[in-house]
Amino acid sequence: MTMHRRISRRTFLASSLAGAAAIGWGAASRAQDPQPDRWVLLADIHIPGDRNKADGTPPVKPVEKFAAMRAEVLALDYKPAGILVAGDCVYLHGQREDYVTLKEESQPFVDAGIPLHFFACLFFPASQTPAFERGRAVAPRTGPRNAGRRLGSL
């Protein structure tokens, strides 16, 4: 035996409106809460000092791609606990101007209060260590694979 309860159009619309408002309120309250278990991972961003540098086929502009990704992260409806940046952060040999551009392009994350964590960002031979190394941690690595190399991190 099927039981149906008839409801008026007014009751249906009022219930629908109340449900939509509850869903909207729930989304709004989630957007304001910090999300300690949600992180953003960026890998091999290869930021060059020259903002207009394009590489590959088809040509890709890393700074332009980074800016688009940054806009997406800042537009999330939650605030991530932090951003992990892994792999090659800067272009090829890690020249000072590459790191300057990386710092400038990352500043909006800092301004938004999102912590940045750089790790294993660039392996480079000690003979090519950039002048920018002063003032940042550089730890020697051991083992045959990393012999004569140093790991730089921001």
Predicted confidence at residue 131, as pLDDT, reads 46
Tokens representing residue 73 in the block: 């992260």
- Give 92-138 pLDDT, tens digit per residue: 777 889 989 999 999 999 999 999 988 765 545 444 445 444 444 44
Predicted confidence at residue 64, as pLDDT, reads 94
Predicted confidence at residue 41, as pLDDT, reads 92
Beta strands in 4-75 (DSSP E): 34-43
Do the Cβ atoms of 83 and 51 come closer than 8 Å? no
Residue 150 has pLDDT above 60, yes or no: no
How many whole angstroms separate alpha carbon 12 and alpha carbon 29? Answer: 26
Predicted confidence at residue 56, as pLDDT, reads 81
Do the Cβ atoms of 119 and 77 come closer than 8 Å? no
Q: Look-up: residue for tokens 């278990």? A: 37
Predicted confidence at residue 75, as pLDDT, reads 93
Output 56 or 151, whichever has higher pLDDT.
56
How many whole angstroms separate alpha carbon 26 and alpha carbon 77? Answer: 12
Predicted confidence at residue 73, as pLDDT, reads 94
Q: Which CATH superfamily is domain 34-152 in?
A: Metallo-dependent phosphatases (3.60.21.10)
Predicted confidence at residue 137, as pLDDT, reads 43
Predicted confidence at residue 122, as pLDDT, reads 53
3-state secondary structure of 6: coil
